Structure 1
């Protein structure tokens, strides 16, 4: 039989373990937020970390930034069910639309366009001059900068050597270093890069407009928590702390439009579904 002192100690320890376990069980779950890596990993982390910390604090929903090294990594997290929120434009084509993710917002930026670009001082003036040359793209998952841009080359029966650089900044670095002759780009990211690095592009081709990337929630996220996260994003520009973070993000990437987040729905992304319906099979 245990001495009363030891029996009391055992019961006290059991109570501590029980209540600690109960406290952990009562904690709100955390959710992974996976944005497409549009810039270098360093710039992307500096852009998103303050925003995600703010949204977590204001919403009461814990978000963890899950940032990949390449632009394709965010999609791999979604498909592996390792992400609960995303900032992406890669869930609108058949096969992925059925995953059940819901659009709830976007940035307040102008529509983006796919472009095929060269340095401003390049001797190349027409896309027909790119036949047989190396052309850089962020990666096979880049909807605007690769799929839409490369589809145009396919429609022109323009064979090029495709080079995947990982993200838009890496694409432009290769372009201005002379390792590729041209690049597939998002008009938005080309403008940001030109402002940050003081570079100038010549645009050989531009697509019709597409809505900027979508803030999306997985069907696994409870509706109340998804709404709280959405409200925190939408209220950022109306709160002094949030407005400061958005201003710093705008300055960081040299956007010509001050960033804010606004509501959106799947209807805003009809242009992506239209592209998927008519694009060459190689890039759907």
Structure 2
């Protein structure tokens, strides 16, 4: 499944465009959360939106901070918002979605033999074919593992320059 960040606001917020967030306080679960923080902060920066980040530890805390009015907006992902109660979801709306990217890469060091890499890849790609494998994937919040390529699936991330937004002392 593609991975993307969402920026939520109160359902009755007058905000209709991310540019209107200039100077606002925006909640994020953590500085280095890929979609819920890094992608959103990079998108805001690309659009010239300055803001004060507030890190509140969890996605649930982000959504509650928005509802309480502690912040103007909050970063999350669709899956965590959908896991919230219907009452909470009814208090929020999505102001923006980031571009979609392939999530959770599994890679091997070049020193690992091709035979071992192919064996591990085959096992991972077949996990959804068994009940036990499907349960393991479900536990990791993954539906299926698929083969991807760096050039197609991850190289586009280089243009976002996410390294500018990573907080080295975090997590």
Question: For the pair shown, which has the larger CA radius of gyration, 1 or 2?
Answer: 1
Aligned mates of 2:100, 2:65 — CA distance in 1: 26
1:274 aligned onto 2:159:
yes
Secondary structure at the aligned position of 1:214 is classed as: coil
Measured after TM superposition, the shift of residue 167 of structure 1 is 4.3
Structure 1 residues 240 and 184, CA, compared in 2 at 3 Å: closer, same or farther? closer
Tell me the distance in 1 between the aligned counterparts of 2:79 and 2:118.
32
Matched, 1:283 2:165: yes
Q: Which residue pairs with 1:122 in the alignment?
A: 13
Corresponding residue for 1:263? 147
Taking structure 1 as the reference length, what is the TM-score of the superposition?
0.47
Aligned match of 1:206: 97
- Deviation (angstroms), 1:174: 3.0
Correspondence 1:233 to 2:118? no
Q: Confirm or deny: 8 A CA contact 2:59 2:80 kept in the other structure.
A: no
RMSD of equivalent CA atoms = 3.1
Alignment TM-score, normalising by the size of structure 2: 0.71
Contact 1:138 1:166 in 2 (8 A): yes
Where does 1:10-159 land on structure 2 (aligned, <5 Å)?
109=1, 111-159=2-50
Aligned residues of 2:19 and 2:48 also touching (Cα < 8 A): no
Higher relative contact order (CA 8 A, sep 6+): 2
Residue-pair matches, total? 162
More helix by share: 1
Give, in whole Å, the separation in 2 of the partners of 1:228 and 1:170. 41
Which segments of 5 or more consecutive residues in structure 2 lack a partner in the other structure? Answer: 167-171
Counterpart of 1:237 in 2: which secondary structure?
A: helix
**Contact 2:8–2:63 at 8 Å: present in 1 too?**
no
